[in-house]
Amino acid sequence: MIPEIGHYALILALLLAVIQASLPLWGAARRHPGLMAIAEPAATLQLAAIGIAFAALTWAYVVSDFSVAVVAGNSLSVKPMLYKVTGVWGNHEGSMLLWVLILALFGASVALFGGNLPPTLKARVLAVQGMIGAGFLAFIILTSNPFLRLDPAPIDGRDMNPLLQDPGLAFHPPFLYLGYVGFSMAFSFAVAALIEGRIDPAWARWVRPWTLAAWSFLTVGIALGSYWAYYELGWGGWWFWDPVENASLMPWLSGTALLHSALVVEKRDALKSWTVLLAILTFGLSLVGTFLVRSGIITSVHAFAVDPERGVFILLLLAITVGGAFTLYALRAPRLKLGGVFAPISREGALVLNNLLICTATVTVFIGTLYPLLDKTVSVGKPYYQLTFVPLMAPVVAVMVIAPLMAWKRGDLPGVLGRLKFAAVGTVVLILAAAWLQGGGPVLALLGFGFGVWVVLGAATEIAERVRLFRIPLRDSLSRAVGLPRSAWGTAFAHAGLGIALLGMIGSSYWSTERLVLARPGDRIDLAAGYAVEFDGVTAGQGPNYETRLGDLKLLRDGGFVTDLAPEKRFYPVARMPTSEVAIHTTLTGDIYVALGEEQADGRWSLRLYHHPLVPWIWGGALVMAFGGALSLSDRRLRIGAPRRAAVPAVGSPA
Amino acid sequence: MTWRSVLAALLLALAVAAPAGAIEPQEQLTDPALEARARTLGQELRCLVCQNESIDDSNADLARDLRRIVRERLTAGDTDDQVVGFITARYGDYVLLRPPLRPGTLVLWFGPVVLLFAAIALLILRRRRRPAEAPPLSPEENQRLARLLDEESAP
Amino acid sequence: MRRLLFLLPLLLLVVLAVGVGTKLLSGSDPQALPSALIDKPLPTFDLAALPGRSDGLASSDFGGAPMLLNVFASWCVPCLAEHPVITRLGREDGISVLAINYKDKPEDALAWLKRNGDPYRRIGADSEGRTAIDLGVYGVPETFVIDKAGRIRYRHPGPLTPDIVDREIRPLLAELAK
């Protein structure tokens, strides 16, 4: 019964989406307030309908209703409840439902909180959002219906892939989708603006909060995915340049460029057509990601098992959505007013450079991901990206410190560099310190480390400049700091967060220690930084839906006991899959990471021990970035639209 | 020094001490120099079963076999190029994680950079063609202009 | 000129969409990789027979007529799935199927053949998998078509289906027999 309610709700949502997509658009063209006003209730009701459908599906999983096909295919009666719920989006059909739910959520948010938007723009934005929703709801109902039933219902399900039965799964997809799908707002705003024929600073002011929210969510989503891979895959890697990982990175990069570009539109009324293009591109890349994962065109641990037919449907949706937007762009963008002029050396100039480089980096990832799909004789992996992506991002990271200190319109480069001298000196000092600590260290590592430090110190310099630190009494600086607009703090944190993440990446990539050993109980193995591990044997055990071999190890530092470590090797009988659960001890300066291998014929166990310095900083830095984004979002100035234009006095009145 | 060995040196600098996931303790060679070379090469070769991990990172049987072959050939005295050649002769260029530089892969290696320079060139040209900045408008002229533009850009 | 620039994103999208779309619809398996040994002579190998048998398989056993080489193992589920197709091929006149038993325990392989039928003219035991690597094998099952001169002309990774046999293998064998 309840799955049927869900099914009907889904169809209702499709009808609402179609209404939302058509009538307000017509109303905006005709300036008919009644028709335009349909958009808001349509969007809100659409959210309610999809919400009901989602709740119905969740209910089916919670009660283990195996007459629903996806539940039978992906769940198990003895599966822990957390994974029954998160399993709702652990497969293609359920995750598509989550996708449209979030799409509707953003649409309804604009309907409810976009009070200061001009009616025609609002109507058009919601209409475009409705079009996207209609397309994907149709896709779900026609090809990926989660409410299909099995008759007779099986007694028990086929369990979920053990790799997915993990807390990480609870949060990684929702955050990722809030990001990916959140960029649909920027897209809708861009297309609506192209239809209106006007892009102005007010438009940028409305677009930025939505883009910032999506960007922050995506940052967290990617970080969660990376962290999940880190502790799930057994040796401490956190990025594999897997096509699906790349598919999440590309909108993030493009979204970053979009954020900065929108800033220029808002402050200087320039870079308009570029910003619109980036908005379309960013959501387009999100759709590319959706396509890659579900079309069957790639092999990846992330790919859902789907067939080419669904892939073609999504490709068509993508082509129509993005193609339509690009067509509109080709027609309308040339007519946009050219904006403010600026010198090459200026904040705008630096942001343009930043955008160019980031976009090139995005293109690099795009080509690297797509090329092997089209030419099967060649493959692209980490070495390629290290030689192309990294050299492109290096100047971005260097310039991102200079840009915030530059003036708009015409910047004073020597002056800015002068103000950065403390940051520069600090960077050199810390590089030397790192070199000394690591006993030399590869040159590239020190260079990367330097970049990370440079960014963090640069962000600090930003704030120091704003509060005139050391140039006015400290108390005054402090009160200035408290009074600084939140977006200033947000920017500083976001930039610093990237620097911190970069330091984590360098530390774990270049300064890790690895010990691969065969050990007997009682053996003690030295690791790094004063750490040693004592192996005390392996015992057998049982979990709710798995059998396990539990390793018993003690972590020691400088001889003293730190903690117990219990890596496992599990076997899930229903899914017939083994997994390896690593034991990680996280500290501020790094991780100790232990994986249990196979038992040897002579009774020894193979152990893999790692010390990953600074690796928690990767995810810590990402959280700081997202925090910076959230901080900026809470800035009231960002959420209030541009002030309404004062009434124009009649011609002929005295000046 | 061949192109490949230059790149290998560069990648050695990039990859040294990078942990490698699936190597079992007993697989390692006793000679640390040879083992280091094996690691570098291992990071360059794709596991064809998992298709997105290097043979060093993959748990698959085939990856283990290929790791063993790499080490055997290194111990037998092959150069890095010869070891890689041995594997590509059997599995094709697809097994290389770093795509070889071939006419077909020029787009892959140079495409983005060419686009970057094209974009920069375009911007410079656009800026040259832009007319000189006009004198600023008076407040009334600004108002008139705003009103006119509003009317003009309304759909 | 400026107009053209604004049209560029749309043009690129169309080109890419068409390219990817055709790839999708061509029905090619993303896991399938082209063999590096097409048109090259079969690498030299000499594999012993399974215990209790007198055949074994060597590269010299090929040539003279087009033949199929099937790589299988008793622990491999898709091999079992394709076995009826292989059996049908092997029992046909004029088609010889020779096999490499990949990384198998000899007793398991013999039991599997006894249980499921043995359509192979000869079987070589590749317990270490070395010969398979020389052939560029990356999974089981795989099937090769070898021509009269002992050159590899075709490799299908994964299980054979009647559809693939009819579409690819039979026409190729017919052509090579000329």
Could you tell me if residue A544 is inside a domain? yes
Rg (CA), chain C: 20
Chain A residues whose beta carbon lies within 8 Å of the beta carbon of residue C14: 319, 323
Can you give the pLDDT at residue B154? 52
Q: How many Å lie between the alpha carbon of B5 and the closest alpha carbon of chain C?
A: 24
The answer to whether the beta carbons of residues A140 and A10 sit under 8 Å apart is yes
Tell me the two tokens of residue C22: 């055709």
Can you give the pLDDT at residue A495? 96
Output the CA–CA distances (angstroms, integers) from residue A237 to A95, A231, A630, A635, in the order listed: 26, 8, 28, 37
- Give the number of domains in chain A: 4
Considering only CB atoms, B62 lies closest to which of C31, C35, C138, namely C138
C44 phi/psi in degrees, rounded to 5: -70, 130
End-to-end CA distance of chain C: 58
Q: Which of A139, A161, A183 is the last residue of a domain?
A: A161
Q: Does the structure show a pLDDT above 60 at B134?
A: no
Could you tell me if residue A149 is inside a domain? yes
Q: How many Å lie between the alpha carbon of B48 and the closest alpha carbon of chain C?
A: 6
A243 and A387 assigned to the same domain: yes
Considering only CB atoms, B48 lies closest to which of C37, C134, C138, namely C138
- Give the tens place of pLDDT for each residue, B39-69: 999 989 988 887 678 898 888 888 999 999 9
Chain B residues whose beta carbon lies within 8 Å of the beta carbon of residue A607: 25
User: Residue A492 in 3-state DSSP?
Assistant: helix
Q: How would residue A16 be classed by pLDDT, with cut points 50, 70 and 90?
A: very high
- Give the tens place of pLDDT for each residue, A531-587: 999 999 899 999 888 899 999 999 999 888 999 999 998 888 877 777 888 999 999
Could you tell me if residue A651 is inside a domain? no
- Give the tens place of pLDDT for each residue, A502-512: 999 999 999 99
Q: How would residue B9 be classed by pLDDT, with cut points 50, 70 and 90?
A: very low
A288 and A426 assigned to the same domain: no
Q: Does the structure show a pLDDT above 90 at A74?
A: no
Q: How would residue B87 be classed by pLDDT, with cut points 50, 70 and 90?
A: very high
Residue C34 contacts B where some CB pair is shorter than 8 Å:
yes
Question: Stretch A111-118: mean pLDDT, rounded?
Answer: 86
A117 and A224 assigned to the same domain: no
Could you tell me if residue A654 is inside a domain? no
Q: How would residue C30 be classed by pLDDT, with cut points 50, 70 and 90?
A: low
A188 and A254 assigned to the same domain: yes
Residue A648 contacts B where some CB pair is shorter than 8 Å:
yes
Can you give the pLDDT at residue B1? 45
Residue C129 contacts B where some CB pair is shorter than 8 Å:
yes
Residue B55 contacts C where some CB pair is shorter than 8 Å:
no
Can you give the pLDDT at residue A189? 95
Can you give the pLDDT at residue A248? 93
A238 and A181 assigned to the same domain: yes
B119–A356 C-beta distance less than 8 A: yes
Least confident of A370-374, A577-581, A584-588, C15-19: A577-581
More confident residue, A586 or B26: A586
Q: Which helix (H) or strand (E) holds A286?
A: helix A272-294
Residue numbers of the domain that contains A497: 420-511+616-626
Could you tell me if residue A636 is inside a domain? no
Q: How would residue B17 be classed by pLDDT, with cut points 50, 70 and 90?
A: very low
Give the residue on C whose Cα is nearest the Cα of A292: C20
Domains of chain C (ranges plus CATH)? 36-177 (3.40.30.10)
Residue A86 CB burial class (10 angstroms; 0-12, 13-18, ≥19): buried
A505 and A517 assigned to the same domain: no
What does pTM read for this prediction?
0.88
Residue A387 contacts B where some CB pair is shorter than 8 Å:
yes
A260 and A379 assigned to the same domain: yes
Chain A residues whose beta carbon lies within 8 Å of the beta carbon of residue C33: 376
Q: Which of A143, A161, A179 is the last residue of a domain?
A: A161
Q: Does the structure show a pLDDT above 60 at A648?
A: no
Residue C115 contacts A where some CB pair is shorter than 8 Å:
no
Question: Stretch A357-384: mean pLDDT, rounded?
Answer: 89
A97 and A222 assigned to the same domain: no
Could you tell me if residue A146 is inside a domain? yes
- Give the tens place of pLDDT for each residue, B102-122: 888 888 899 899 999 998 888
Q: How would residue B133 be classed by pLDDT, with cut points 50, 70 and 90?
A: low
B104–A378 C-beta distance less than 8 A: yes
Chain C residues whose beta carbon lies within 8 Å of the beta carbon of residue B88: 36
Chain A residues whose beta carbon lies within 8 Å of the beta carbon of residue C31: 299
Can you give the pLDDT at residue A640? 53
Strands A568-572 and A560-565: unpaired
Considering only CB atoms, A376 lies closest to which of C9, C10, C34, namely C34
Q: Which of the 8 DSSP states describes residue A378?
A: -
Q: Which of A409, A442, A459 is the last residue of a domain?
A: A409
Question: Stretch A359-374: mean pLDDT, rounded?
Answer: 91
B90–C133 C-beta distance less than 8 A: yes
Count of pairs with CB atoms under 8 A, one residue in A, one in B: 162
A43 and A63 assigned to the same domain: yes
C13–A322 C-beta distance less than 8 A: yes
Tell me the two tokens of residue A280: 């379309």
CA dihedral angle for residue A13, residue A17, residue A23, residue A28, rounded to 10 degrees: 140
Chain B residues whose beta carbon lies within 8 Å of the beta carbon of residue A368: 108
Least confident of A128-137, A381-390, A641-650, C60-69: A641-650
Can you give the pLDDT at residue B131? 60
- Give the tens place of pLDDT for each residue, A481-502: 888 888 899 999 999 999 999 9
Q: Does the structure show a pLDDT above 50 at A650?
A: no
Question: Stretch A119-125: mean pLDDT, rounded?
Answer: 92
Q: How would residue A467 be classed by pLDDT, with cut points 50, 70 and 90?
A: confident
Chain C residues whose beta carbon lies within 8 Å of the beta carbon of residue A311: 24
A481 and A517 assigned to the same domain: no
Residue of C35, C76, C133 to mutate, testing the B interface (most B Cβ within 10 Å of its Cβ): C133
More confident residue, A423 or A545: A423
Helix H, strand E, coil C: the string for A30-96 is: HCCHHHHCCHHHHHHHHHHHHHHHHHHHHHHHHCCCCCEHHHHHHCCCCCCHHHHHHHHHCCHHHHH
A142 and A206 assigned to the same domain: no
Give the residue on B whose Cα is nearest the Cα of A519: B25
Q: How would residue A305 be classed by pLDDT, with cut points 50, 70 and 90?
A: low
pLDDT averaged over chain A? 88
Least confident of A371-380, A612-621, C145-154: A371-380
Residue A634 contacts B where some CB pair is shorter than 8 Å:
no
Residues A166 and A189: their CA atoms lie apart, in Å, by 37
Could you tell me if residue A157 is inside a domain? yes
Q: Does the structure show a pLDDT above 70 at A526?
A: yes
A384–B99 C-beta distance less than 8 A: yes
Least confident of A36-45, A91-100, A440-449, B76-85: A440-449
A403 and A282 assigned to the same domain: yes
Least confident of A181-195, B52-66, C37-51: B52-66
Can you give the pLDDT at residue A252? 97
Q: How many Å lie between the alpha carbon of A645 and the closest alpha carbon of chain B?
A: 10
Closest CA to A438 of A338, A344, A360, A511: A511
Could you tell me if residue A381 is inside a domain? yes
Q: Does the structure show a pLDDT above 70 at A646?
A: no
Domains of chain B (ranges plus CATH)? 3-95 (1.10.8.640), 103-153 (no CATH)
More confident residue, A133 or A476: A133
